[in-house]
Structure 1
Amino acid sequence: MGSNKLEVSVEVLPYLRVYKDGTIERIAGTEVSPADLDPQTGVVSKDIVIIPETGVSARLYRPNLTSEHKKLPLVVYFHGGAFCISSASDPYYHNSLNILVSKADIVVLSVDYRRSPEHPLPAAYEDSWAALEWVASHSGGGGGSEAWLKDSVDFGRVFLAGDSAGANISHHMAIRAGSTRIDGLKIHGIVMIHPYFWGEEPIGSEVMDPIRKAMVDCWWQFVCPSEKGSDDPLMNPFVDGAPSLSGLACDRVIVCVAEKDILRDRGRLYYEKLAKSGWPGTVEVMETEGEDHVFHIFNPNCEKALNMMKCLASFINQE
């Protein structure tokens, strides 16, 4: 008798498996938390479709008690997950962003971009750009219809933010905005948390950790198969052919890294390269000792995560 067990075609640990019949099994990032009033933080959220043509949605957050006359900074957030797992409704992101909104007194739009492998890159980048254009449609009496944006957002204080793959997206959105203007949208700053940048040649701690180096190589080759491998400019912003960091369309950047994160040295390199690029803005780096990749997502109420949120709130609200 034949076996009904599906044969695995590709395994991308610890994220997903692709079977030979085309079935995709996500191992992580599949849980969903509903949008609602969060009693712990007093933050309210709702889900909206923002790009009907592609079905791209977002989760919108704001403080529950907001004066109609008070305009708040807007953070457009891009979640992590190696471009292939998680979502804007993931409980980890939902809980973390509730805390950020309450600490910083801001509005957040968390973009639910399409994921690989069903929607290979550059779909995530195109969805994220379309989301920024949608946000801009609400500025200056534009045709946007979302009341939370029109009534509560100061469009002169818009920030891009993201962790891991989302931080990568934030970089590319700011680079694109430097050459393709979005009318009505001024990107004031970028919050980059444990950014997902990489490269073929190992640097720093990667040299001593070939197992994790190979694992990250595998992730990128899965979501963006290319003869350039991890030196594709989408993943390595420092290679020949990548747009100059000096074209970043914002005034301030904060790069957060974690001591035990395999991506730490790439984040520090981004900070160093940006500072020397001729870009006219200001960049700072914040390192959290003793922690690993996106620790604040998995444990948002720990002391170090709350401290990081306070620092990010200060960065966003800095005059």
Structure 2
Amino acid sequence: MSKFDPYEHLKIHKNEDGTLTRLMKFPQIPATGDGDLLPGQTVASKDVTLDPTKNTWLRIFRPAKLPSDDDKIAKLPLVIYFHAGGWINFQVSDALNHETMTKLSLEIPAIAVAVNFHFSRVFLYGTSCGANIVLHTALRVINQDISPLTVAGIILCQPLIGGKKRTKSELKLAADTLFPLPVIDLLWELALPNGTDRDHRFCNPLGDQQVKAKMGKLGRCLVIGFGGDPLIDRQQELVQMMVMQGVVVEARFDDVGFHGIEMVDPRRASAILNFVKEFIV
């Protein structure tokens, strides 16, 4: 039996200088830009550079037809979304992410990702590693003045969190087809600061007392998870910790399903979108 290679599973190659080469290619969808939309397009999108030196950027989505009442244009909520991919794969222009955000912007309706407008209701939304980023971003924002913005809620979809001690679900699903334990361990090895382990607060917020002390100051929170996810035990522990700290949590756990199911099951993708819509609206 050949040795399992998590690098091969993730379709990445580690170079001698420590950088990674991504070998997996995904269909791309360009932003609609500033011009007129084509027939059938219901959402406009535009790319904005954040830091050209680091090649970081975002894509803004907005409904082509803004809802109005009595000739007044409605104020839409702002949703800042962090996509999945283990901090390694995927980008906003990938077809799956673009289509997901297009549907979200249209169905809620909402402005997605636009950070330079004055909105009052901001929602932070992330999937997998993106949910990890959302959690730590929300905790950092607690001690910062971001007025006139306020974080009205955070959405953690299948949050990627971990720890050195294995949970029952991790051991049970160690050889999971999509998200096996060696792959999860490699993602943490590549993502965490040098010299740290999986009990670092970025990976294991449940074991950090400073995180626990700030947790109670979070606003409303939606957590989504599936029983076939190796991370399900940690996700449920996170919900329990939040509730004990007084956070208003809406937990949507389904015994059937696995990590990243929305990528291959359109019905589950629609269900997740409906959960998000109900939470925001």
Q: What TM-score do the two structures reach when normalised by structure 1?
A: 0.75
Runs of 4+ in 1 over 6 A off after TM superposition: 38-41
Identity of aligned residues (%): 27
Structure 1 partner of 2:92: 88
Q: Which amino acid in structure 1 is aligned with residue 259 of structure 2?
A: H
In structure 2, relative to structure 1, the CA distance for the partners of 1:245 and 1:283 (3 Å cut) is farther
Looking at structure 1, the residues matched to 10 and 38 of structure 2 have their Cα atoms a distance apart, in angstroms, of 30
Query: Please, which of 172, 185, 193 is the counterpart of residue 217 of structure 1?
Result: 185
Say whether 1:19 aligns with 2:23. Answer: no
Residues 39 and 265 (structure 1), Cα distance of their counterparts in 2 relative to 1, 3 Å cut: farther
Note if contact 1:199-1:235 (Cα within 8 Å) is conserved in structure 2.
yes
- CA–CA distance in 2 between the matches of 1:89 and 1:248? 35
Partner amino acid, structure 2, of 1:312: V
Aligned letter for 2:133?
I
Residue in structure 2 matched with residue 286 of structure 1 by the alignment = 252
Q: Secondary structure at the match of 2:10?
A: coil
Counterpart Cα distance in 1 of 2:129 and 2:26: 17
Amino acid at match of 2:44: V
Distance 2:248 2:39 in 1: 36
> Which residue in the other structure is 2:152 paired with?
188
Q: What's the CA shift for 1:22?
A: 6.0
Q: Is the partner of 1:244 in helix, strand or coil?
A: helix
Does the 8 Å CA contact 1:188/1:250 hold for their aligned counterparts? Answer: no
Classify the secondary structure of the residue corresponding to 2:153: strand
Deviations 1:220-251 (A, max 9, x none): 01222544421110011011354226446542
Q: CA deviation at 1:292?
A: 1.5
In 2, distance between residues paired with 1:64 and 1:55?
28
Report the AA paired with residue 224 of structure 1.
L
TM norm structure 2: 0.84
Deviating more after overlay: 219-228 vs 97-106: 219-228
1:71 pairs with 2:45: no
Would you say 1:138 and 2:117 are equivalent positions? yes
Does the 8 Å CA contact 1:46/1:60 hold for their aligned counterparts? yes
Counterpart amino acid of residue 65 in structure 2: L
1:39, distance to aligned residue in structure 2 (A): 6.5
Residue 241 to residue 29, structure 1, CA distance change in 2 (3 Å): farther
The 8 Å contact of residues 121 and 149 in structure 2, kept in 1 or not, is answered as no
1:201 aligned residue: 165
Give the Cα–Cα distance (whole angstroms) in 2 for the partners of residues 176 and 219 of structure 1.
23
CA–CA separation in structure 2 for the residues paired with 1:258 and 1:247: 23
Give the 3 Å change call, closer, same or farther, for CA 208–40 of structure 1 in structure 2. Answer: farther
In the superposition, relative to structure 1, how do residues 84 and 169 fare at CA in structure 2: closer, same or farther (>3 Å)? same
Does residue 269 of the first structure (1) align with residue 265 of the second (2)?
no
- Give the drift of 1:23: 6.6
Q: Which residue of 2 aligns with 1:62?
A: 62
Q: Is the 8 A contact 1:206 1:262 kept in 2?
A: yes
Q: Give the distance between the partners of 1:28 and 1:242, measured in 2 at CA.
A: 38
Q: CA deviation at 1:31?
A: 4.0
Q: Give the whole-Å Cα distance in 2 for the aligned partners of 1:157 and 1:106.
A: 10
Aligned to 2:263: 297
Distance change in 2, residues 1:99/1:39 (3 Å): farther
SS in 1 for 2:239: helix
Q: d(CA) in 2 for partners of 1:169 and 1:222?
A: 15
Superposed, 1:30-179 pairs within 5 Å as: 30-36=26-32, 42-51=42-51, 54-66=54-66, 67=68, 69-109=73-113, 135=115, 138-139=117-118, 155-179=119-143
Superposition RMSD in Å: 2.6
Does the CA contact (< 8 Å) of 1:31 and 1:91 recur in 2?
Answer: yes
Is 1:96–1:297's contact at 8 Å kept on the other side of the alignment? no
Equivalenced residues, count: 265
Gaps of 5+ in 2: 1-5
* Residue correspondence of structure 1 range 246-261 to structure 2 within 5 A: 246-247=214-215, 250-261=218-229
Q: Report if the CA contact (8 A) 1:226-1:232 is conserved.
A: no
